[in-house]
Amino acid sequence: MVSEQLFWIISGCLLAAYLLSLTGIPVYLRRESLAGDALSHAIFPGVVLAVWISGENNSWLTYLFGVLVGSLALFLIQSIHQKTLIPKDGATGIVLILFFSVGLLFMGRLQRSGVPLWGVQHVLLGKAATLLPSDLIALAILSVVGSILFFYFQKWLWLEAFDSKFAKHSGLPKNTYGLFLNAWTALVLTATIQILGAVLSAAMLITPSALGHFLSHNPKKLILISVLSACTAAVLAGFISASVPAMSTGALTVILLFLLAFPFFLFHPKKGILMKWIARKKEAGRWKDENTLKQFYNPANVHLETGLNPSIKRLLKNRLIQPNNNGSWELSPKGVLEAERIVRKHRLWETFLHNRLLIPQDSVHENAELMEHLLDDDAEERLSVELNNPGADPHQSPIPPKK
């Protein structure tokens, strides 16, 4: 059912996705996602050099040069960032563009001298369809080695990424560890950009961890979500691209990941942007309603709403106000209780500010306008006890008793 070519493509993408998502976790945790992106572009001149020297496109020289050039790039980013006032993102951008441009210069020369650039072009966008068995073997070896390293050093990973100073004090060889991580990431990227291309490799490095972190702050779950989502996307993309000709499997994998992650970012029940927005609107509505109730409560207030606005509609719905004989609204018994509750909080707070914090009585009202919505019943209770159940606020307005 599954053709042999399809099998190769799916395996290649799956391994690449697995390797990248795993390697991407420490990169993500150390806040170096963009350095990963820069790395994927910076390896380019190394690969060009390797092709130039060796004449073939997938030799061990490619890996060696990839690691060397990549590590150099990461080292330069650190140097620029630490030794000049250029911040981290600026340093990252500088190294990215510089290395990539040098790569383009080399490539231009190569084109002129007629050296076949078959392998080099792939660096930019990759071509899963022309996967060689040697590529697959390389990926497989890296995946196994990477898994073992990750498994055994997971303590190191989390420790160094979270609190590198403490890690250093605890004896973790920070510099060696950092150098090794950089070299490893460069190695992995060198392998995968030949299949997926630079941008898509960077995508698989970053997105899975971002999704994993969004969904969980439990380290084990984060790893699981990241790796599983990446692999699932890769396999699915492989099958889909089989039915659609000339579809880039790598690009499809990234799109599937995007389609998985983005809805979560928007619609997650608690952390999703939409939910947070709804919660904010609800809260704003509550404040508005409480203020409306207060308006009706105060008998001196002659500017009463006679029309229908959203707040009035909500209050009507909750039976806190009812129509009166004059064509406008009045508080229902339930509404009176509610309004008194808010007024009580308002005036208790004013009393607290004035009596305890010695704030002049002209200045307490504005703050109380905010606090009346924020104090919960427990706080209200304690305030009252603390102030010895006062009968009136600093403006001599009566404080409604607790019912």
Partner 1 sequence: MIEVKNLNAGYGKRSALWNIDFSIPLPAFIGIIGPNGGGKSTLLKSILGEITPFTGSIQVFGKPIGEVRERLAYVPQINSVDWNFPIRVMDVVLMGRFRPHSWGPFYSKSDREKAEFYLNAVGMFEFSKRQVGELSGGQRQRVFLARALAREADLLLLDEPLAGVDAGSGERILAVLSNYQKQGRSILMVHHDLLTASTLFDHLILLQTRLVAAGPIKDVFTLNNLQTAYGTDVSILSEMIHKLGQTPAKISDHP
Partner 2 sequence: MTLFILATAGLLAFQAALGGSFLVLRRSAMLTDAMAHSLLPGLVLGYLVSGSRSGPEIIFFAAVSSFLSAYLIDFLSKFAGIWFEASTGFVFTSLFSIGIVLVTALGGNVDLDADCILYGELLYVPFRYSYTHSWYDLLPLPLWNQIWVSLVWIVFLILKWKQLKIWAFDEGFCRNAGIAHNSLRRFVLALTSMSIVVGFDAFGAVLVVGFFILPAATAWLISQTWRAMLLNSISVGLISIALGYGFALVFDWEPGPSMVCLSGFIFVVAAFWYYTKKSGSGFRPTH
Q: Is 189 in the site for partner 2 (CB under 8 A)?
A: no
166 binds, among partner 2, partner 1, none (CB under 5 to 8 A by kind): partner 1
Q: Does 90 bind partner 2 (CB under 8 A)?
A: yes
> How many residues form the binding site for partner 1 (CB under 8 A)?
26
Q: Which of residues 31-70 bind partner 1 (CB under 8 A)?
A: 31
Residue 297 binds to partner 1 (criterion: CB under 8 A): no
Residue 316 corresponds to which tokens in the numbers above?
Answer: 């009507």
Q: Which two tokens stand for residue 258?
A: 């995007």
Under the criterion CB under 8 A, does residue 102 sit at the interface with partner 2? yes
Instruction: Give the span between the Cα atoms of 354 and 73, in whole angstroms.
Output: 62
Q: Is 88 a binder of partner 1 (CB under 8 A)? A: no
Among 162, 262, 267, 277, contact with partner 1 (rule: CB under 8 A): 162
Question: Can you tell me the distance from the alpha carbon of 273 to that of 257, in angstroms, rounded to the nearest whole number?
Answer: 18
Task: State which of residues 199, 235, 242, 304 lies at the interface with partner 2 (CB under 8 A).
Answer: 199
User: If you search the block for the tokens 């001599």, which residue do you land on?
Assistant: 396
Residues 6 or more apart whose Cβ sits within 8 Å of residue 159: 166, 167, 170, 172
Residue 17 engages partner 2 in binding (rule: CB under 8 A): no
**Does residue 317 bind partner 2 (CB under 8 A)?**
no
Residue 270 touching partner 1 (CB under 8 A): no
Q: Which of 51, 67, 188, 203 binds partner 2 (CB under 8 A)?
A: 203
Q: Is 170 in the site for partner 1 (CB under 8 A)?
A: yes
Q: Is 270 in the site for partner 2 (CB under 8 A)?
A: no
Measure Cα distances from 138 to 131, 145, 248 in Å. Answer: 11, 11, 21
Neighbours of 119 (CB within 10 A): 19
Minimum CB separation of residue 94 from partner 2 in Å reads 6
| Cα 376 → chain centroid | 32
Comparing CA positions, the residue from 99, 134, 261, 122 lying closest to residue 196 is 122
| Shorter beta-carbon distance to partner 2: residue 28 or 349 | 28
Q: How far apart are CA 254 and CA 129, in angstroms?
A: 16
Q: Which of 244, 300, 302, 385 binds partner 2 (CB under 8 A)?
A: 244
Asked if 242 and 6 touch (Cβ cutoff 8 Å), the reply is yes
Query: Residue 29 in contact with residue 212, Cβ under 8 Å?
Result: no
Cα–Cα distance, 59 to 134 (Å, whole number): 10
Residue 176 interacting with partner 1 (CB under 8 A): no
Cβ proximity to partner 1, 88 vs 213, nearer residue: 213
Question: What is 150-198 written as a DSSP string?
Answer: HHHTHHHHHHHHH-HHHHHHTT--HHHHHHHHHHHHHHHHHHHHHHH-H
- Chain residues in the site for partner 1 (CB under 8 A): 29, 31, 151-155, 158-159, 161-163, 165-167, 169-173, 213, 216-219, 222
- Chain residues in the site for partner 2 (CB under 8 A): 28, 31-34, 36-37, 41, 80, 83-90, 92-94, 96-98, 100-102, 104-105, 108-109, 112, 121-125, 127, 197, 199-200, 202-203, 205-207, 209-210, 213-214, 244, 246-248, 250-252, 254-255, 257-258, 261-262, 265-266, 271-273, 276-277
